[in-house]
Amino acid sequence: MLMSSGIGTEFIEFQYKDGFSVTKEVKSDYNENGFVIIRNLLDKDEVKLLGESFLHDEKLQENTWNQKEHGSSEFSASISVWNHPGEDVSGMVCRSEKVVNIAEDLLDGGEIYMHHCKLVQKQAKTGGQWNWHQDYGYWYQNGLLWPDALTVFIAIDKCEKGNGCLQVIKRSHKCGRLDHKQVGDQQQADTERVGWILEKLPVQFVELEPGDALYFHSNILHTSGRNLSENRRWAFLMAYTLKSNSPVSKTYESHLNMHYTPLNKVPNTAIKECKILSSEKGKDYLSPSKNIATCKHYDVQN
């Protein structure tokens, strides 16, 4: 069993308000720890609308598969992955100035685009845990030359220890990319190396309220536990990288269309003003029939 040197408690949280920007303090915290928490990035109405858009999206459900926990037939999580934002409510969130501007600033201000996004559903009592991994452990295989990428994890439901919230190893992004191997349906970072890192660095349980966001570096080691609670745990994740970091490999281009496409930012008001609750138009879903062949090249965990 991998043991941690301790539970991290010392980190800075930031509260989103109109006019929020990435200050030196925000950037310093991200650079030092490998992640930053922005509370209330989406307000109550926005996160409710986002949740409803997924709940009533038949095409999304058609393109959802169960990712089994290794060694367990009882526990799994449901995953949906798509490559482009689209024009519906979730697309407006992906393209909103507040979400994108923070990502741009954390990635040093270059033009960014959406590498992919996903909905992760951990249902009550059956939601499975994930292996320790890095997003760049996957994306390196996609042909991204540099780890100049991040993920925005937005809680649709409350995320806490009891329902399998995210766990990150603080400062582990400074260890560089670790080797990963396929273990069942999941990728797993080198367990010996992770064990050494856990002896040196603390684990942070990332407990979030609906609408809170975690921005985390592509090399941060992270995992999440089982959902043993009576409540579901849904989360919306958006992965961004620099235009200059568009994949160089075309090996998977036929079904993994992750190359640069302009993001076309929209005002924050576009989320609530969007008249399209859900639509598959322009999203390019990863088909469940292809997930076995391709999941090792996507970060479909969390």
Q: How confident is the model at residue 297 (pLDDT cuts 50, 70, 90)?
A: very low
Residue 301 lies in a domain: no
166 part of a folded domain = yes
* Average pLDDT of span 115-125: 92
* Separation of alpha carbons 200 and 4, rounded Å: 8
| Interval 241-291: pLDDT, tens | 999 999 987 655 444 568 899 999 999 999 999 999 999 999 989 876 654
Domain total in the chain: 1
Rounded to an integer, the average pLDDT of 175-204 is 89
The fraction of the chain above a pLDDT of 90, given in percent, is: 67
Better-scored residue on pLDDT, 84 or 259? 84
> Is position 167 within any domain?
yes
Percent of the chain with pLDDT over 70: 85
Q: Is residue 23 part of a domain?
A: no
Which pLDDT value is given to residue 291? 47
Classify residue 18: in a domain, yes or no: no
Give a yes or no: residue 109 inside a domain: yes
Average pLDDT, the chain: 88
189-to-18, 127, 131, 203, 215 alpha-carbon distances in Å: 39, 21, 8, 16, 20
Domain presence at residue 16: no
Give 214: exposed, middle or buried? Use CB within 10 Å, 0-12, 13-18, 19+. buried
Looking at residue 276, which CATH number applies to its domain? 2.60.120.620
For residues 67 and 79, what is the distance between their CA atoms, to the nearest angstrom?
Answer: 7
7: confidence class by pLDDT, cuts 50, 70, 90: low
Spatial distance between the Cα atoms of 86 and 63, rounded to a whole number of angstroms = 15
- The pLDDT value recorded for residue 210 is 99
- For the cut 90, the answer to whether the pLDDT of residue 296 exceeds it is no
Q: Which residue range(s) make up the domain with 141?
A: 28-294
Residue 21 lies in a domain: no
